[in-house]
Amino acid sequence: MAEHALITGGAGFIGAHLARRLLDEGVRVTLVDDFSRGRQDEILDQLALRATLVRHNLTEPIPEGVLPKDVDTVYHLAAVVGVQRTADSPGRVLRTNVLAASNVFDWCDEARPGTVFLSSTSEFADGAAQSGLASFPTPEDVPFLLARPHSTRASYALSKAVAESMLMYRAGQTRVRIGRYFNVYGPRMGHSHVIPQFIGRILAGEDPFRVYGSEQTRAFCHVDDAVTATVALSRLPGDEPVLANIGDDSREIRIADLARLLLELAGVSPRLEILDSPSGSPERRLPDLSTLHTVLGARETVPLEKGLRQMLDWYGAESW
């Protein structure tokens, strides 16, 4: 009998890429999503031919019979994501992400999948970084703290910290795997993150070209590499819970240089207009990937230029 995976948030960016990878490997896949973000598009139509799609709002408990119980691995990715959404509705972010995790893990208590993977975030470490308590590259055992606990931005990190603990308390009952994603990018990631925002404005011919937080640095991870890491982490044998940063530390880049690289790849040269950083955004994010390297061994990752070229092609072909 083929392995059976359940992906919550499977209509979203990382979820759909993960579903495609697992299906290509012959895994049976069930996706559950409320489609609040995951769009009904060609990619989802293709997935629907090979996977089972279930519509359910995970802030509600999962009724008996809605999801199949013969699941080997649950990948819990459903969440409200994005800086803008967090700024607009911090209460919704906190409520949705905590309730969804709680309902999914309660369902797992009954269904007893062998492994539960939780998608957590680099933002777990941002409070410590802002307080000078994180080193770079940042390991997983960084303390969790909120420099400004009641700021709108804190709600997302807080929701993920709660979800991490809820899952960790279940270690022994299921194999616990937690991945903290660091700046994952790739086709179909939406329009709210820095790379698609730059691309949208390049395609619109913006001149002068606005660059917010030009001196901040990030290390971007292509979604194919994030999916490889997610699957490898989930399949890691052993009953001990595993928490690993998921990212790509091969190239840390200043935001101004990211803009220059994208403009160069697009073959345009507007004047750069350097503007202040968005409020509350961290100066630096760089994962310590020692744990991941232990799991995956040495591996090649998608070079940034190649990934950005793919993004320019993909978003160029999409109508904005």
Ligand X SMILES: NC(=O)c1ccc[n+]([C@@H]2O[C@H](COP(=O)([O-])OP(=O)(O)OC[C@H]3O[C@@H](n4cnc5c(N)ncnc54)[C@H](O)[C@@H]3O)[C@@H](O)[C@H]2O)c1
CB count in 10 Å sphere of residue 278 = 14
Q: Which two tokens stand for residue 149?
A: 């606990």
DSSP 10-43: TTSHHHHHHHHHHHHTT-EEEEEE--SSS--SHH
Residue nearest to ligand X (CB): 12
Contact criterion met (CB below 8 Å) for 250 and 299? no
- 31/209 with CB nearer ligand X: 31
Q: How far is the CB of 164 from ligand X (least distance, A)?
A: 11
Contact criterion met (CB below 8 Å) for 44 and 38? yes
- Continuous segment of H or E residues that includes residue 253: strand 252-254
DSSP 104-152: HHHHHHHH--SEEEEEEEGGGGHHHHHTT---SSBPTTPPP--SSTTST
- 15/241 with CB nearer ligand X: 15
- Give the residue from 236, 223, 233 showing the smallest Cα distance to 289: 233
- 38/307 with CB nearer ligand X: 38
- 115/121 with CB nearer ligand X: 121
Q: How far is the CB of 43 from ligand X (least distance, A)?
A: 12
Q: Which residues bind ligand X (CB under 6 A)?
A: 9, 11-15, 33-38, 57-59, 77-81, 96, 100, 119, 121-122, 181, 183-184
Q: How far is the CB of 74 from ligand X (least distance, A)?
A: 13
- 85/209 with CB nearer ligand X: 85
Q: How far is the CB of 219 from ligand X (least distance, A)?
A: 11
Residue type, 180: R
Q: How far is the CB of 82 from ligand X (least distance, A)?
A: 7
- 2/66 with CB nearer ligand X: 66
Q: How far is the CB of 13 from ligand X (least distance, A)?
A: 3
Q: Which two tokens stand for residue 252?
A: 């840390």
Q: Is the dihedral of CA 61, 229, 308, 124 positive or negative?
A: positive
Q: How far is the CB of 300 from ligand X (least distance, A)?
A: 20
- 4/180 with CB nearer ligand X: 180
